[in-house]
Amino acid sequence: MIYLYDGSFDGFLCCVYAHYYCGSASAIYAVDGFQQQLGETCAVVERDDEKAKKVYEAMEEKLGDEIVSKAYRCFLAEDLEKDTRILNYLRLCFRYGPQVDGYRTHPWILPIHELDKKVSGQVHRYLGILRFSDIQGVLYAAYTPDYDMTRILMPHFADRFKREQFIIYDRRRQKAGVYARGQWLERDFDVDLLQYRSEKERNLEALWKGYFEHIAIEARKNPKLQAHFVPKRYRSFVTEFQPR
């Protein structure tokens, strides 16, 4: 049986629930973009907050935080089979306990490590190279991540900038994480605020660019190494790589 869901993480968890209580799943896909093949039976699983919560709590209790967040990061990966892969991984973990994660080359575990590496690698990169601008007192960052990761970035910046108000705008998905007064939420958003940077803001950018140029040691110049760490495709939103 192939289970289909609405594309949300809770929806996916309901498919995991269905796998255990309504008959085992041969695969799980998001409804959007799914094309049924001849001879396959599919069922659309309705999202049900109760069931999702049950599965989530079981994961937290039996598998621990590390595996829960790993599963969530894999869920964000752009991979057609990711839902089925996560299900299989969770099945193994529920059956043998979280230490089965160390059986790295198992065909149900290896893909999870690979997906997780991609997503968490980019998350870590954006923790560093995301750039904010002060637009009339609100900190505003725009970026185009490969994965829908704003929800992972928000808690980090919500703590770091707890007395600020800020917006992290995912231009590719036209959504933004918005934070103010201890709370954050995600909403549809499609406004480019960078054009409203003040004179003062541009002066501050110039200070940073001046610093950035002078901190490099001429005798050790190594543009290849620099490009290895900051690939060109990441540079378009990074202040110090914009022309002066």
Q: Which residues bind other proteins (CB under 8 A)?
A: 99-100, 102-106, 110, 124, 127-134, 139, 141, 157, 159-164, 204, 206-208, 210-226, 228-230, 238-240
Which residue number, 127 or 185, has a Cβ lying nearer to other proteins?
Answer: 127
Task: Please report, in angstroms and rounded to a whole number, the separation of the first and last CA atoms in the chain.
Answer: 58
- The CB-of-187 to other proteins minimum distance in angstroms stands at 21
Which residue number, 32 or 218, has a Cβ lying nearer to other proteins?
Answer: 218
Environment class of 65 (CB within 10 Å of its CB; exposed 0-12, middle 13-18, buried 19+)? exposed
- The CB-of-207 to other proteins minimum distance in angstroms stands at 6
C-beta of residue 108 within 8 angstroms of C-beta of residue 81:
no
> What CA–CA distance (Å, rounded) separates 52 from 17?
7
- The CB-of-176 to other proteins minimum distance in angstroms stands at 16
Of 40, 35, 37, the C-alpha closest to 2 is 40
Which residue number, 46 or 196, has a Cβ lying nearer to other proteins?
Answer: 196
- The CB-of-108 to other proteins minimum distance in angstroms stands at 13
Kindly tell me the sign of the dihedral angle through the C-alpha atoms of 223, 227, 230, 234. Answer: positive
- The CB-of-85 to other proteins minimum distance in angstroms stands at 16
C-beta of residue 133 within 8 angstroms of C-beta of residue 160:
no
C-beta of residue 82 within 8 angstroms of C-beta of residue 125:
no
Which residue number, 12 or 140, has a Cβ lying nearer to other proteins?
Answer: 140
Which residue number, 160 or 172, has a Cβ lying nearer to other proteins?
Answer: 160
Helix (H, G, I), strand (E, B) or coil at 120: helix
